[in-house]
A and B are shown apart, each in its own frame.
Chain A
Amino acid sequence: MSSVDSTRIGFRDALMHLAKERDDIVFVSTDSLKVVKGEPFLEAYPDRVIELGISEQNGVGVSSGLASSGLLPYICTYAGFLTMRACEQMRTFVSYPALKVRFVGANGGLHGGNREGVSHQFIEDVGILRTMPNFTILCPADGNQVYQAMLVSADVDGPVYIRIGSGREEKVFPDGTPFPLGKIRTLVDEGSDVALFCHGFITGRVIEAAKSLKEEGIGVKVVEVATIKPLDREGIVGILGETECAVTIEDHTIINGLGSAVAEVIAEGNPAYLVRLGLQDVYGESGFPDELLDAYGMSVQDIIEGAKKAIKQKKV
Chain B
Amino acid sequence: MDLEALNAMSLQLRRDVVEMVYRTKDGHPSPSFSVADIITALYFEVMNIDPSKPDMSDRDRFVLSKGHSCPVLYAALARRGYFPVDDLYTLRYLHSNLQGHPYAPKTKGLDATTGSLGNGVSIGLGMALAARIQRQTNRVYVITGDGELGEGMIWEAAMAASHQKAANLTVFIDNNNYQSGGTVSEVSGPYPIEDKWKAFGWHTQSIDGHDISQILSAVEKAKAETERPSAIICKTIKGNGVSFMVGENSWHKRVYTDEEYSIAMKELGGVV
Residues of chain A at the chain B interface (Cβ within 8 Å)? 26, 47-48, 50, 52-53, 55, 57-71, 73, 88-89, 92-93, 96-98
Contact = CB atoms under 8 A, between A and B. Distances in A.
20 contacts: A50-B129, A52-B156, A55-B153, A58-B160, A61-B121, A61-B123, A61-B126, A61-B153, A65-B123, A65-B126, A65-B127, A68-B123, A68-B127, A92-B115, A92-B116, A92-B119, A93-B123, A97-B103, A97-B105, A98-B105
Most buried by B among A52, A59, A65: A65
Interface of B: 57, 61, 63, 103-105, 111-116, 119, 121-131, 133-134, 152-153, 156-157, 159-160, 163-164
A69 B131 contact: yes
Q: Which 10 A-B pairs have the closest CB atoms?
A: A65-B126, A61-B122, A69-B130, A58-B156, A55-B156, A62-B126, A65-B127, A65-B123, A66-B126, A97-B113
B164 A50 contact: yes
B60 to A, nearest CB: 12
Contact of B111 (A55, A63, A68, A70): A68
A189 to B, nearest CB: 43
Nearest to A54: B156
A88 B134 contact: no
A106 B112 CA distance: 28
A243 to B, nearest CB: 42
B119 A69 contact: no
B151 to A, nearest CB: 9
Contacts of B163: 53
A89 B117 CA distance: 11
Contacts of B111: 68
Contacts of A97: 103-105, 113
A73 B111 CA distance: 18
A73 B123 CA distance: 13
A61 B155 CA distance: 13
Contacts of B119: 57, 61, 89, 92-93
A162 to B, nearest CB: 20
A18 to B, nearest CB: 15
A55 B121 CA distance: 13
Most buried by B among A48, A55, A67: A55
A160 B125 CA distance: 22
A50 B164 CA distance: 8
A266 B124 CA distance: 45
Most buried by B among A50, A58, A66: A58
Nearest to A71: B130
Nearest to B105: A97
A70 B152 CA distance: 27
A93 B104 CA distance: 10
A62 B125 contact: yes
A67 B159 CA distance: 21
Contacts of A89: 119, 122, 153
Nearest to B131: A69
Contact of B126 (A68, A88, A98): A68
Given A64-B123, A88-B116, A93-B123, 18 more contacts: A53-B156, A53-B163, A57-B152, A58-B122, A58-B153, A61-B123, A62-B122, A62-B123, A63-B126, A64-B126, A65-B128, A65-B129, A66-B133, A69-B61, A69-B134, A70-B57, A70-B134, A93-B113
Contact of B125 (A61, A68, A88): A61
A208 B134 CA distance: 49
A116 B122 CA distance: 30
A55 B126 contact: no
A56 to B, nearest CB: 9
Contact of A57 (B105, B130, B153): B153
Contact of A68 (B103, B112, B115, B157): B112
A71 B131 CA distance: 10
B133 A71 contact: yes
Contacts of B122: 57-62, 64-65, 89
B235 to A, nearest CB: 27
Nearest to A86: B153
B113 A57 contact: no
A52 B104 contact: no
A61 B128 CA distance: 12
A93 B101 CA distance: 12
Most buried by A among B131, B134, B153: B153
Contacts of A59: 122
A65 B112 contact: yes
A68 B153 CA distance: 19
Contacts of B156: 52-53, 55, 57-58
B158 to A, nearest CB: 9
A47 B134 CA distance: 10
Nearest to B111: A68
B200 to A, nearest CB: 12
B177 to A, nearest CB: 26
A97 B123 CA distance: 13
Contacts of A62: 122-123, 125-126, 129, 157, 160
A64 B104 CA distance: 12
Given A61-B157, A98-B105, A70 B125 contact: no
A85 to B, nearest CB: 10
